[in-house]
Chains A and B, each alone.
Chain A
Amino acid sequence: MSGERDGLGPGWIEVTGRTVEEATLVGLQRLGLAAAEDAEVEVLEEPQRGLLGVFGGRGARIRMRRRPDRLEALSRLALDIARAAGLEDLSVDSFRDEEGYIHINLKGPGLGRLIGRRGETLDALQYLLNLASARMPGRPERVIFDADGYRERRRQALEALAERVSARVRRTGREVVLEPMTPQERKIVHLAVAREEGLTSESRGQEPFRRVVVKPAPTSGRDGAAGGESPDER
């Protein structure tokens, strides 16, 4: 029974046993794991029966490793996708936030290719990473994917925009219609406008051309809740 060998790769151990099941049990013990779901198992050789069922038979040979946890697996997937897109020398910073979201942030040169026009590619990748997360065993967890801090930069730009537009609406007393945005982007603008005194916002039009409209709040004393849709869309 050999331990780690050349070519096994990080974390893999090779185990033999009379049957695959027996080898798996031994491997679990060696890896310090409680259940077979915690391990990845690959059968290298099925057991072979020898003459008369005894002589010359060969046992099973398998390799096993601890199943990478979701954060690790998703980080690796993001890097694999980037590498397949021709991006090398990237680093990944991933963590779980207080609300339980998994954040995967890629850093390095050339990431514009994964961001795309107005973050469309970034959103597509985030969607695909969420599907991958949902396929993994255990309770599903949401993923927020970012490249080069794009989402944070975009949030700051949208908040600055909301501030400028708010000032203009207040000055002129007339509503301003913004460029089409994704639901996430519109939410950032709605929240920013909600912090402004005497102004309100709503969304108009159909996806993907839905736009935020910033306008003076009705003066009837009712708060912003009058008319239109809730700004708390998602």
Chain B
Amino acid sequence: MQVELLKVIVRAIVSNPEAVKVTEERRHAQTVLLLEVAPEDVGRVIGRQGRIIKAIRKVLKTAGGPRAKYVTIDVVSR
């Protein structure tokens, strides 16, 4: 659920939606969402002082279902 939610949100705010990929990973007891975007879009998902990624996290936490509390988002680009 969170994977899809993260994809929908990020695709709407980047300049290169086709490059957006989200994969889910278990690390210890945590769910980590790996968010991959085009290099030029990294700033667009993080924002000044992390403002954008904070808003995304907030939405994933409350809207993402019961397990959402333990989600971490890692932003990567290739």
A-side interface residues toward B, CB under 8 Å?
77, 80-81, 84-86, 113-114, 116-117, 120-121, 124-125, 127-128, 131-132, 135
Quick one: which of B8, B59, B64 contacts A124, CB cutoff 8 A? B59
In terms of DSSP, what is the predominant structure of the interface of chain A?
A: helix
Tell whether B67 is near chain A: CB-to-CB under 8 Å.
no
Residue of A nearest to B56 (CB): A128
CB <8 Å contact, A135 and B62: no
Quick one: which of B9, B13, B56, B63 contacts A113, CB cutoff 8 A? B63
Report, nearest first, the 8 A-B pairs whose CB atoms are least far apart.
Answer: A85-B63, A124-B55, A84-B5, A132-B12, A124-B58, A116-B62, A121-B62, A84-B4
Question: How many Å lie between the Cα of A116 and that of B57 in the bound state?
Answer: 12
B-side interface residues toward A, CB under 8 Å?
1, 4-5, 7-9, 12-15, 44, 51-52, 54-56, 58-59, 61-65
CB <8 Å contact, A77 and B62: no
A84 neighbours in B (Cβ, 8 Å): 1, 4-5, 7-8
Residue of A nearest to B15 (CB): A135
Min C-beta distance of A111 to chain B, whole Å: 10
B13 neighbours in A (Cβ, 8 Å): 128, 131-132, 135
CB <8 Å contact, A121 and B58: yes
Question: How many Å lie between the Cα of A215 and that of B64 in the bound state?
Answer: 42
